[in-house]
Amino acid sequence: MVRAHFADLLSQADTRAPLLTGGISVGRMVPMRLLPFRVICLLGMNDGDFPRRDPAAGLNKLTAELHAGRRLPGDRSTREDDRFLFLQLFAAAQEVFYLSHLGNDPRDGSVREPSVLVSELLDVAARYHADPGARTRLVVRHTLQPFAPEAFGSGDEPRRFSYRARWREASQRLGEARHALAPWLLQPLPPEDAGTTDLSLDALRRFFADPQGRFLQQRLGLRLPEPVDQGEDVEPLVVPGRGLERARLQQALIDAMDAGQEAGLRERLRARALLPSGALGTRQFEAMLAQASPFARARRAWLAGETAASAAYAIELDGRRLHGRVADVTARGLVRLRADALNGSAALRWGLDWLLANAAGARLPLVQFHDGDHPGPHLTEALAPEQARTALRCLLALHARGLQAPLLFAPSTGWDIWNAEPGKRRAAGWKRWHGDGNGGWAEGEGEAIRLALRGRDPFARDDDYAELERTSLDVYDLLRHGRTRHAGGAA
């Protein structure tokens, strides 16, 4: 307790703050009554920050008269007080009067002007010396980073400096040729334990949805932190444009239409916080309902009163048991609906269900309802059990390879590559991997991909891209057709 008392007491600032004790004194800009200092530094002399503006006219009659142009001698003005304070500080500097301001915007790099007092002082100095170039020579533009080579005398401005000697080495290496980062794994890991013979369909789905994340978690025991959902303090005004929340809302609409419970649906969705309130929320609900209705009607007409159920399937492939439960199974096929365009994630889930059911001998087609030329059904014929088993063997081989080293595959990028024309595959995949440049989602910026594929951009080298394209074509050929193409080179 005694130690804590004196530590707190000695850490407190001295309220007397003696200024003439030597060293550097840091304080607020207050009238110094012309106390002389060798060096006076004013920081943050940005335009709009100093001099301060007089407050807007309100109940204060004096302020209202200042803004109305009826100022009398002796009336206080905050802006004029700051100008006089600047003059006092300038007169008190004996050797150096140092001013600094933010010369460029930190977000876009655009030029930012200094305080009007700094500009006026530079103009007066230029006129005093009768030299228009004096203004330029009085201003020192520092580097953005303290480890830049110009901060250590490599430029033509000796007044630039850096205050950390250990950054000198970094500044001297900036001019060297860049080297690619070494691969995260120099060689693949050994195969999984041979005793692991049981694999669930859910585990296979999760692997192809996030192969790099599953490699990090399953083989290295590294689990990346999941993004934290931060609740909004204000009620949203629009429905989500993409992601899990939009899919949940679409599913709620489909379920209500299937059950014939469309009456009062908007109020129920608002109560579940799935739909914004107000007139805008009502219009968006009606638009989503109009979008989802054709798909729900088409599926209901195809079912013709038949009830879909779930079924469990299990097969043995080369000493390994693959098993899982498949939902929405009917005697005429596996029914799948997405009230939007088909994407890579849905194609992965639907294709794996279809392959497992047919490999188990069910011989069921995949009946799909999604956005396209018409709501559906879009039919993918049933496969012979041996063909489905061969397709699953290929996918299990990719699964085993992806648990030894990070697999060059991402579901959305691979889907765009698979759907593009042969000559446009690389451009389509690059846009999905790197984003469109307008702040949109970029699949290659995922944490697991950036860590597992560190220093390896699959679009930077032709051989890496060829592997990405070949894997993408193989995966979606197997999931959509149950076979791979014989010729699938890079395009």
- Please give the Cα distance from 376 to 301 (Å, whole number): 10
Residues spanned by CATH 3.40.50.300 within the chain? 24-60+73-139
What does the mean pLDDT of the chain come to?
Answer: 85
- Structure token pair of residue 452: 């597992």
pLDDT of residue 233: 55
pLDDT of residue 487: 41
Query: Residue 491 pLDDT more than 60?
Result: no
- Please give the Cα distance from 292 to 299 (Å, whole number): 11
Between 168 and 5, where is the model more confident?
A: 5
pLDDT of residue 13: 67
- Please give the Cα distance from 308 to 37 (Å, whole number): 87
CATH (residue range 244-303): 1.10.10
The CATH classification of domain 24-60+73-139, taken from the options 3.40.190.10, 3.40.50.300, 3.40.309.10, 3.30.365.10? 3.40.50.300
pLDDT of residue 66: 63
Residues whose CB falls within 8 Å of the CB of residue 265, separated by 6 or more in sequence, listed in order: 253, 256, 289
Residues spanned by CATH 1.10.10 within the chain? 244-303
Query: Residue 145 pLDDT more than 50?
Result: yes
Are 434 and 459 spatial neighbours (Cβ–Cβ below 8 Å)? yes
pLDDT of residue 176: 65
pTM of the model: 0.64
Average pLDDT over residues 156-184: 74
pLDDT band at residue 416 under the 50/70/90 scheme: very high
pLDDT in tens, 225-281: 776 555 555 566 677 666 677 777 888 888 888 777 777 888 888 787 777 777 877
3-state DSSP assignment of residue 210: coil
Average pLDDT over residues 448-453: 91
- Please give the Cα distance from 366 to 382 (Å, whole number): 7
Average pLDDT over residues 454-461: 87
Four-residue CA torsion sign, 7, 13, 16, 20: positive
- Of all helices (H) and strands (E), which one includes residue 411? helix 411-419
3-state DSSP assignment of residue 390: helix
pLDDT in tens, 353-408: 999 999 999 999 999 999 888 888 999 999 999 999 999 999 999 999 999 999 99
